[in-house]
Chain A
Amino acid sequence: MSMTLTGLWVLPLFGCLVCSVLGRLWPGSVKRAAMAFSLLSLGAVVLAIGSSWSGGAFTTLNEVGPRWAYGISYRLSADSLSLALVGLTVFLNLICMIASWELEVSPGYWACFLALTAALTGVFLARDLFFFYVFWEATLVPMFFIIGLWGSSGRRHAALKFFIFTFAGSVFMLLALLVLVSSHHAATGAWTWDLAELDAKTLGPLARLVFWGLVLGFAVKIPMVPFHTWLPDAHTEAPAAGSVMLAGVMLKMGVYGLLRIALPLFPEISWEALPILGGLAAFSTVYGALCAMAQTDLKRLIAYSSIAHLGFCLLGVLSRTSQGLSGGALQLVNHGLTTGALFLMVGFMYERVHKRGLADFGDLASRAPTLAFFFGFSTLASIGLPGLNGFVGEFMALSGAMAALPVLAIVGSVGVLLSAAYALPAFQAVFWAPAGPGSVSEKMSDLHLREKAILWTMCGLMAWIGLAPKPWLAWFEPAIRGLVR
């Protein structure tokens, strides 16, 4: 099954090229082609998951390509963590395509989403750090255009800010990788970028520098306070589908990088760094929640809540306990679903009335009851109501942190409380409170079938993970087993 993995990222890339060509010839057919390729990509991922399942357990799929000069080799590998995130990517991409179906956008829109999917898939599959970095950076270009071309009023500034901030992190990540590779060569005489062959012991005194260089790159992406300032602008100004991909998948790259590269290569240093990194993560949960409480723009509120949610993921991951790691990994998927759904719904509202301020709505539940139901459902999932997915992830992440460094878990728990304090009042203001003078609620119409179908799927998954988390946790278990301290 070796071609499957390459196919996973080449398929959407090919789709992107097809859409670019079609855009010149038959602009009207582009979105159908894009949808076809999105469906094919999802099918390919399902196929890959199926082929990795043998004898009641997951096996890691590997694909080893040629090795080029300077030890650069093409190696892909898919364990359960990679497959989960690739699955999330193609799933959300398909959701975005369906949600954007009626938008009047130029053909480039569809091509950009497919290019983004290709690059993200590559990030989660690559095991050669060179290719990892190339895919990592390549994700920025389509997202830059998605924000800049199809975003709202402040899109130009937000697109530049997004690119420059995240590039700032990754350029130092690249230097750290170069130091790692060069030291390995100096110590062993062999050039390699292969994650499995590199050994941080060759770094000697530079190890700390390299670790922090990598962490800087990941922390900007996550984003961890104080490297978060690009996020509210980018998420708010991006088109709805762009926000879904940003929050749903691109934020996960940072945590994934920690799980895949920083923790395995530097088990000791990362443990020593727990008070600093964990402290920042716990602070992120509180700070993100406090910022969210102060927002008057619904999209900005959800954007800040992402900072808080990713803080929980980090707490779990950094705790290096079995519970914490599984919870953190699960929370990556959870956050993609809940925040993705919330961003989509704000997008639906914005499409109808071109408003998204809390004060612009009121008493929306009577005008759009279905929307109110799904919004409430996703909000509850997001704040961690038992029985829904957020509870499982956050609870496990926090209990992991409790075992590692209790003070972090205590601060994180304050973050959980605060999440209810911003999410529920926001829901109340939009859906239940009496409509104010500037309200546009009466212009709102309820969701139509296409939108309902998307939300039923997403909310169904939230409930499934919440009610029966065991298979999901078992899914991640093999990937994180080696990281448990």
Chain B
Amino acid sequence: MIALAPQAVLTAGTLGALSLGLMRRPSALGLRVLAVSSIVAAMLSVATGSVHELSSVIVMNDPKSLGWHYVICLGALPLAFFLDGSDDVMTALFLGATLGMSLLCVAANLPMLFISLEFMSLPAYLLVARSRPGSRSLEAAIKYFFAGGVAGALFMLGLALYYADTRSLAFSGSLSALGQGGAALMAAAALFKLGAFPLHWWLPDVYEAAAPEVSGFLSTAMKSAAVLFLMRLCEMAPTASVADFLPGVGALTAVVGSVMALRQERLQRLLAYSSIAHAGFLLLGVGAWARAGRSGEGASALLFYLGVYALMSNGTFGFIKHAGAQTRAQLKGLGVSMPAAAAALTALLVSLAGIPPTGGFFAKLLIFWRAVDAGLLGPAALAATAALISMGYYLGMIKDMWFEEPSGPAPVASEGLGVVIACAAAAVLLGAAPWLLAQAMEVGIK
């Protein structure tokens, strides 16, 4: 079972959190240590090379599984630090969702993909519902649940059509019209999870209503899993024509997300639309990867993007948690009242915008490069336009913080500054030395 060490660690963590919850007064410190150590142990078990390659009908470990483990754990780690251990169910749900993503990494056939998809989604609905007191988060969770339900139903219907055509639950080299339709429906489920236009409508409400650190988790770990989910579909049905539409859908998603984010006043909603825009760039990358023969280069470009985005998005959502700023108006004057946090957010925003020399620049560069190399000039130009539009709000927020006078009482800072600064520093460092992430993941940008 050593091949499934990360999953074993995360299972143990989930069960551990539930067991701690059985105690009369669960130890908050114990829960915090458990959350962080489970994620770190899952990461290390991949890093130490103890996970060997595995290939069976149900589960498999290939380079992508290992690489995606890293970015998923990287996306989950900040939330592990943010959970204060007062609620054992939150810790269990968080580790359970991560376990679901981890299972998705190793899923080798379509039913297994579906099971792991649901496994990661169900705890996520509850995470959103529980993350904040009040009815708004509950409403958002129900919305999220329905969207997830639609996605699941689409997937099952697609799987049925696919099976009817190919008599296979995994790889199939050729598809008839029936199988094409099935593959398209399954891909739609992935686009739902990813928040791609026009299946993105649920995402801003959910990300806005959930606690910011939970939104950070959803926008990074969950999106990484959704990207892999889509890639697995493309691998199993390489002739599916739905892959040809991915670059266009991606570029369009990037434009829609960027345009919508321009007018947002509430920070979490703005970042939600920004995450839609980033999902668009990722989709463009998946499309380029599929078109260029599913090469390792395309996959490592996506992996790099996800790794950097895990830092950037968690860092910005963590800033909202730390600074307590809800709206863009509250950002005004933060450069004076909280210089360290504002400087960290500035670095994160510069990276999100893709301005060199930051990790976000390299991430966008690699995606554009793969797209251009695959001959996708039109979608690449459209996505570049989206990157340009996104300057309006990323720089706008920097402007709010540094160039404007405070317009009201300064928000009160709470804990979490360390996470924000760590994310910002890592995002900038990856710009100066982009090979660090690649080497750490042993995937290597060849």
Contact = CB atoms under 8 A, between A and B. Distances in A.
Given A70-B445, A134-B356, A174-B365, A179 B377 contact: yes
Nearest to B384: A171
B130 interface: no
Interface string B367-404: 01100110001001100100110011001101100111
B402 A148 contact: yes
Interface in B345-373: 350, 355-357, 361, 365, 368-369, 372-373
Interface in B398-446: 398-399, 402-404, 435, 445-446
B368 A159 contact: no
A149 B405 CA distance: 11
Contact of B399 (A134, A148, A167, A185): A148
A134 B384 contact: no
A420 to B, nearest CB: 38
B373 A68 contact: no
Interface string A128-158: 0000011001101100110011000001100
B369 A182 contact: yes
B388 A171 contact: yes
Contacts of B373: 178, 182, 185-186
Nearest 9 CB-CB pairs, A to B? A134-B356, A178-B372, A148-B403, A182-B373, A156-B403, A137-B356, A171-B384, A69-B445, A164-B391
Contacts of A472: none
Contact of A175 (B350, B355, B384, B445): B384
A330 to B, nearest CB: 31
Contact of A155 (B365, B387, B403, B435): B403
Interface string B260-286: 000000000000000000000000000
A159 to B, nearest CB: 7
Given A178-B369, A182-B372, A137 B395 contact: no
A168 interface: yes
A155 B435 CA distance: 38
Give the most central of B357, B396, B398, B403: most A CB within 10 Å.
B403
Contacts of B391: 163-164, 167
A141 B355 contact: yes
Contact of B368 (A140, A168, A178, A209): A178
Given A167-B391, A171-B388, 16 more contacts: A138-B356, A144-B395, A148-B399, A149-B403, A164-B392, A164-B395, A167-B388, A171-B384, A171-B387, A174-B365, A175-B368, A178-B372, A178-B373, A178-B380, A182-B369, A185-B373
Contacts of B355: 137-138, 140-141, 167
A171 B392 CA distance: 14
Contacts of B387: 171
Contacts of B396: 160
B307 to A, nearest CB: 16
28 contacts: A68-B435, A69-B435, A69-B446, A134-B357, A137-B355, A137-B356, A138-B355, A138-B357, A141-B350, A141-B355, A145-B402, A148-B403, A156-B399, A156-B403, A156-B404, A159-B403, A164-B388, A164-B395, A167-B388, A168-B388, A171-B384, A172-B381, A175-B368, A178-B369, A178-B372, A178-B373, A179-B372, A209-B377
A267 to B, nearest CB: 24
Nearest to A171: B384
Contacts of A172: 381, 384
Given A164-B388, A167-B388, A174 B357 contact: no
Given A68-B435, A175-B384, A179-B372, A163 B395 contact: yes
Interface of A: 68-70, 133-134, 137-138, 140-141, 144-145, 148-149, 155-156, 159-160, 163-164, 167-168, 171-172, 174-175, 178-179, 181-182, 185-186, 209
A68 B432 CA distance: 13
Contacts of B404: 156
Nearest to B387: A171
Contacts of B388: 164, 167-168, 171
Nearest to A168: B388
A160 B395 CA distance: 7
A140 B368 CA distance: 21
A134 B362 CA distance: 10
Give the most central of B355, B368, B377: most A CB within 10 Å.
B355
Contacts of A145: 402
Contacts of A167: 355, 388, 391
A410 B380 CA distance: 41
A350 B416 CA distance: 44
Nearest to B300: A69
Contacts of B356: 133-134, 137-138
B191 to A, nearest CB: 25
A172 B368 CA distance: 11
A69 B350 CA distance: 24
Contacts of A144: 395, 398
A168 B380 CA distance: 14
Given A68-B435, A174-B365, A178-B369, A159 B446 contact: no
A144 B398 CA distance: 10
Contacts of B357: 134, 138
Nearest to B396: A160
Interface string B67-92: 00000000000000000000000000
A3 to B, nearest CB: 20
A185 B369 CA distance: 12
A138 B399 CA distance: 17
A155 B403 CA distance: 8
Contacts of A68: 435
Contacts of B395: 144, 160, 163-164
A147 to B, nearest CB: 9
Interface in B284-338: none
A174 B377 CA distance: 12
Give the most central of A133, A140, A174, A186: most B CB within 10 Å.
A174
A155 B405 CA distance: 13
Give the most central of B357, B396, B435: most A CB within 10 Å.
B357
Nearest to B365: A174
A145 B446 CA distance: 37
Nearest to A133: B356
Contacts of B369: 70, 178, 181-182
A154 to B, nearest CB: 11
A157 B430 CA distance: 31
Nearest to A180: B372
Contacts of A138: 355-357
A167 B357 CA distance: 14
A339 B34 CA distance: 64
Give the most central of B355, B356, B446: most A CB within 10 Å.
B356
A470 B368 CA distance: 47
